[in-house]
């Protein structure tokens, strides 16, 4: 049985030397690592877009190298988010959205806007930033997820603001960054960062079973119990897309964790 179509599970990127010891088959060509990863996983978060502008031809190549139902999430460029005044990010946002991301077609997943740990929540400036985010490009609907990394965002005013703009908030399961699972958009984006090198799958089987149950609950339109929140529960009844990425932590274990979770979801 296949996993639910609206739950996408993956890792960050596909080029990482230690994965050639425990994920990619021995001798597998590096030029075909995306092809192999996409045959086992259902999504990848592209981190290269955070550091530099990619070419339209690259997005088209990645699109053509992956299965029909595969999805790519994109980290938005740091030039848009790592600035003192977010309201001045319009040019950077426009340049990124127009850089060729539409070449991914229906494989274009959410765009993640990651903010610095030192960036405080300033309602007026953050609200101005949200108004700059385009809703579509090349006929494709854009979905935006805010990854905020300062505790000042864990408040009712922030939740009300992003819910008004209908953008998601990344649930970052980590000890290093604020971790709150409040639902603010029409999809769920989780970045799981607690993998341990000493565990075969990065996580204990029981923990991965719990994440599988959480993913099913999210996908069905509910909210899993036991996760930290910054405010009141949001009333939801409709099924939604769920993106779960194993990223950071013991990165060498990320593919094993993702594969285990996909197996549990089946």
Mean pLDDT for all residues in the chain:
95
Question: What digits encode the pLDDT tens for the residues 18-76?
Answer: 999 889 999 999 999 999 999 999 999 999 999 999 999 999 999 999 999 999 999 99
Note the CATH number of domain 7-265.
Answer: 3.20.20.410
Map tokens 């899993």 to a residue.
224
Tokens representing 43 are: 């999504």
Question: What digits encode the pLDDT tens for the residues 139-182?
Answer: 999 999 999 999 999 999 999 999 999 999 999 999 899 999 99
Q: What value does the mean pLDDT take over residues 130-134?
A: 98
Tokens representing 127 are: 């609200």
Tokens representing 30 are: 């590096």
Examine the pLDDT at 5 and tell me if it is beyond 80.
no
**For 245, which DSSP code?**
E
The answer to whether the predicted template modeling score (pTM) of the entire model surpasses 0.85 is yes
Question: What digits encode the pLDDT tens for the residues 69-123?
Answer: 999 999 999 999 999 999 999 999 999 999 999 999 999 999 999 999 999 999 9
For residues 95 and 132, the answer to whether their CB atoms sit within 8 Å is: no
Give CA–CA dist 144/186, Å, rounded.
10
Question: What digits encode the pLDDT tens for the residues 187-233?
Answer: 999 999 999 999 999 999 999 999 999 999 999 999 999 999 999 88
By DSSP bridging, strand 136-137 and strand 241-246 are unpaired
- Residues belonging to the chain: 266
Give CA–CA dist 261/167, Å, rounded.
26
Q: For the chain, report the end-to-end CA distance as a whole number of angstroms.
A: 6
Percent of the chain whose pLDDT exceeds 70: 97
Count of CB atoms within 10 A of residue 262's CB?
20
């Amino acid at each position: 049985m296949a996993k639910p179509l609206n739950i996408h599970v993956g890792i960050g990127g596909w080029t990482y030397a230690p994965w050639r010891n425990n994920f990619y088959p021995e001798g597998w060509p590096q030029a075909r690592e995306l092809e192999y990863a996409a045959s086992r996983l259902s999504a990848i978060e592209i981190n290269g877009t955070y550091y530099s502008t990619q070419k339209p031809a690259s997005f088209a190549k990645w699109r053509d190298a992956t299965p029909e139902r595969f999805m790519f999430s994109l980290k938005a460029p740091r030039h848009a988010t790592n600035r003192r005044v977010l309201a001045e990010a319009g040019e950077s946002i426009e340049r990124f959205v127009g850089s060729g991301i539409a070449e991914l077609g229906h494989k274009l997943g959410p765009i993640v806007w990651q903010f610095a740990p030192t960036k405080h929540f300033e309602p007026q400036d953050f609200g101005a930033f949200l108004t700059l985010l385009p809703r579509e490009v090349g006929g494709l609907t854009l979905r935006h997820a805010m990854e905020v990394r300062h505790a000042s965002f864990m408040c009712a005013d922030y939740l009300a603001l992003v819910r008004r703009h209908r953008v998601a908030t990344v649930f970052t399961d980590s000890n290093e960054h604020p971790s709150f699972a409040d639902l603010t958009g029409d999809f769920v984006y989780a970045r799981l960062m607690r993998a341990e090198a000493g565990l075969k799958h990065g996580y204990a089987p029981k923990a991965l079973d719990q994440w599988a149950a959480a993913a099913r609950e999210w996908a069905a339109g509910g909210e899993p119990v036991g996760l930290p929140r910054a405010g009141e529960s949001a009333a939801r009844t409709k099924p939604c897309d769920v993106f779960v990425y194993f990223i950071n932590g013991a990165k060498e274990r990320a593919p094993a964790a993702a594969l285990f979770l996909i197996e549990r979801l089946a």
